A and B are shown apart, each in its own frame.
Chain A
Amino acid sequence: MTVRIELRGLRKEFKDGTHVGPIDLTIEKGELVTLLGPSGSGKTTTLRMVAGFIQPQSGSLTFNGRDMTNVAPRERGIGMVFQSIALFPNMNVFQNISFGLDMEHWDRTQVTERVEELSRMLGIHGLLYRPISEVSGGEAQRVALARALARKPQVLLLDEPLSSLDPQLRDRLQMEIRKVQRSLGITTLYVTHNQAEAFAVSDKVAVMNDGVIIQTGTPEELYENPNSEFVARFVGSGNVFSGVVEEVRSDSILVRTDSYIFKVSGHRLAGSQVFFTVRPEDVRIELAESGMGAAATVQSVTPQVGSSRVVLDFDGNQVVSVVTDATMTSQLRKNGTSRVWFRFEPELAVLIG
């Protein structure tokens, strides 16, 4: 049986006055939803309200329509992986995984079967009898996941499960988590501050800032249509421009920034303050002035797979561009911090909000 989770106006105020919420979020059956936001934005608090470790002051939390407010954490049918992993140091790997089963008084052969099954699924079969002090970071993460899944929970909660791992291991494990989650069809709430990680694992991402969800959507929706400057900066490339509408045309507007006037598709009232964003792959760099681009200086050129990431300084703001042309890349690298011009097609710029 899978669970549909609904958070409605969930709100927690701490003694010192800081508060998180109100949070509105729906996690459909079998879906993986990620809370993405900077440190201190309220992700853990939200997750812990779902787990039942924090009692919200107001709002409701339901699993398949059933109110969970007065249900103890251990009766919510939840598996959880903590940011600190929190394996039991006085037990070995097997005992950690089987802990939840022991609490339910499973019989010995069933326990062994279940632990074997999980450890094979997560590739930790070889270390079942190791003490916790002797497993590596990545292995510990798998053990924690196995332990959380042992009782066949209906809901899985993961709080920055990969934040302590190095990037390569993180990439591998996030794919594995995704695979396991899909194959079990378990409703999952995942917390991270890492945009790439969020996009890699999620069906849906809820971007949090200052205790509230700013925007919820699929990774594509967020990337292509951020609803605010914050989401654009946090989720997108960081190419966010702000300015004042100088002139309104039939299908586009002219936006004046400190040193340049950009043409952007869409409609806004003249004189209003607007934000727009352009994806790095849509920013074109030119080495000579053509009268069509804004002037900027090159800050850095970083090679990536099949392209280069070029960071420009435009009026003290960063503008990122992805350059696929190899001769252009080598030219930029050779010139060092030189003056260049950049532009984009008006229809590829996205007005925010």
Chain B
Amino acid sequence: MKSQNVLAHLILYSPVVLLACFLIYPVSAVIIRGIVSGLGTSITNVLSSPVTLNAVSFSAYQAAISTLAAVVLGLPGAYLLARLRFGGKSVVRAAMVIPFVLPPIVVVVGFLQMFGPYGFVDSFVMAITGSNTSVVNLASGITGIVLAHAFYNAPLVILMVSASLERLSPDIEESAEILGASSIQKLRRIILPHILPALLASAILTYLFCFTSFPIVLALGGGAYSTLEVRIWIAFRIFDYGAASSLALVQILITIALAFSYYRLGGSRNYTIAPTSRIKQVGIDEIGGRHALLAVLYVVLLLVLVAGPIVAIVRAAVYDPVTEVYTWAGFASLLSAGLGGGLIPLVNSVFYAGTSTVLAVVLGLPLAYLHRRPGFTSSTLSSLTAFLPLGVSAITLAYGLMLCVVVPLGLSVNPWPAIVLAQTMIGLPFSARSIEIALRNIDPALLDQADLLGASRLQKLFFVELPLLAPGILVGAVFAFAMAIGEMSATYFIALPQNFTLTVAIYQDLGVRKFVEAGAAALVLVAVCLIAFLVIDKVTGKQSGGVL
């Protein structure tokens, strides 16, 4: 009995221990070493340097504009999704998850093709104006960065805010109406206060993602713009450990503050009011002409911004803008095993992501159970553990793993385990969360029933709980896989050429203007994400937004 208890605790807390070993320890080690060793710039110099100030303020500034753009773009969509009655709504809702699981570097490829020079939008404008040189380029500089961030996060805002809007009881709105409130007054006094917690939560999450954004800023910013994460990258590359560590510290403090406020808002978010079944909705045929026109314009805008880049990747895979011809060369290269070929990165991607998915699920299970345990400490510890990877700079983690795992274990010749570890850490929040949601939905009475029938704890776990959890585990695994296979920053940092994954290969290809090769690889990743989406949609029906 006693030894069984010890074992149970050991299993429950093992993810926390592993995270301590492979996340907290390496990251702190890097930071502390960097700051005290005196190698490179000292922390006081870093903190007072205008370059740091610039990076911090640019990070903050672009994140603010991106968040604003995502919110402005997302709000009407949230309203439409919640209030409009139309067929295929659950598919639309599930599809909102696609951008989120797309690797940033793939999005970069899509953006260049959609909004870049000679891309779809540019070609369209060139045709209208009769120009034969590029007219608009929306895929570079701050415009490109903000648009790409909006691409990622507007769907997030839509999902979170529409979920909240659906919980607003129609009786509340009608009460306000009959008490004389006009539409504007109702919006201001009733609807906005109701969705505010969800709106703020989605805005903070968006801000958090944008603040630490790396591949998008690196690739679309063209070196002219740098966020903190980009500066950390540069500092490591020039072996200025002091600067890198100090910057990583600054970034961690900022992201922890943001994550903390998100976590706090999470509490007030579930002040639900109405059962979701009774939503105030109107059919598509019931909206008036002017409103219908606005709605259509909005949907078109959203399609251009969100669906456009994804579709554009198909063209990017077969059209070479350098030679101006359509070609299968990209796919041919994908299957070539030689130097610079795509086969090794492809195999690496699948292998690393697959392994780290298994790890993320194995760790996610006890983490989810830990979260459900009564008592403040275990559940807090679990949420903290699950959310920590989101707040930590991937580059810093990568360097930490190099320092604390690769070098001591003599893996320098082939550091692939460190890549798997990094990808596991990045997938873990998602697997843990979706398993935890599934766990929450198991009817406790069912488990009591199993108890009464005399099932032992192990039997209960294997024959009752795990089958019930299976869909949640599957969704978690799919999410973790998508996150892992899309990971670029940490992987790029750790990988030697033989360890390159598809995302890294895409970045390199873009750098040397091998556009179709990048496009073909990106298309493969899009296909992976679409399959992931289909699985999630199939398994969860319409609840997939919850994992975010």
Contacts and interface: CB of A to CB of B under 8 A. Distances in A.
Interface of A: 51, 53, 73-74, 78-80, 82-90, 99-100, 103-104, 133, 147, 150-151
Contact of A99 (B171, B176, B271, B274): B176
A318 to B, nearest CB: 34
B174 A86 contact: yes
B174 A53 contact: yes
Candidate in B169, B174, B181, B273 with the most chain A CB atoms within 10 angstroms: B174
Given A84-B169, A86-B169, A88-B172, A51 B180 contact: no
Interface of B: 169, 171-172, 174-182, 185, 189-190, 193-194, 271, 273-274
Contact of B194 (A53, A74, A80, A90): A90
Candidate in A53, A78, A99, A150 with the most chain B CB atoms within 10 angstroms: A99
A82 B185 CA distance: 20
Nearest to B185: A103
Nearest to B196: A90
B271 A73 contact: no
Given A82-B171, A103-B185, A88 B180 contact: no
Contact of A103 (B171, B180, B194): B180
A103 B185 CA distance: 8
Contacts of A51: 174, 178
Given A82-B175, A84-B169, A100 B273 contact: no
Contact of A74 (B169, B179, B271, B274): B179
A88 B185 contact: no
A103 B181 contact: yes
B102 to A, nearest CB: 37
Contacts of A84: 169, 171, 274
Contact of A86 (B175, B182, B185, B193): B175
Candidate in A53, A84, A151 with the most chain B CB atoms within 10 angstroms: A84
Contacts of B179: 74, 99-100, 103, 147, 150-151
A86 B180 CA distance: 15
Given A89-B271, A90-B193, A73 B175 contact: no
Contacts of B172: 86, 88-89
A51 B175 CA distance: 11
B269 to A, nearest CB: 13
Contacts of B190: 88, 90
A278 to B, nearest CB: 42
Contact of B177 (A73, A83, A104, A151): A73
Given A51-B174, A89-B172, 17 more contacts: A51-B178, A73-B177, A73-B178, A74-B179, A74-B181, A80-B178, A82-B171, A83-B171, A88-B176, A89-B194, A89-B271, A90-B190, A90-B194, A99-B181, A103-B180, A103-B181, A151-B180
B178 A86 contact: no
B180 A104 contact: yes
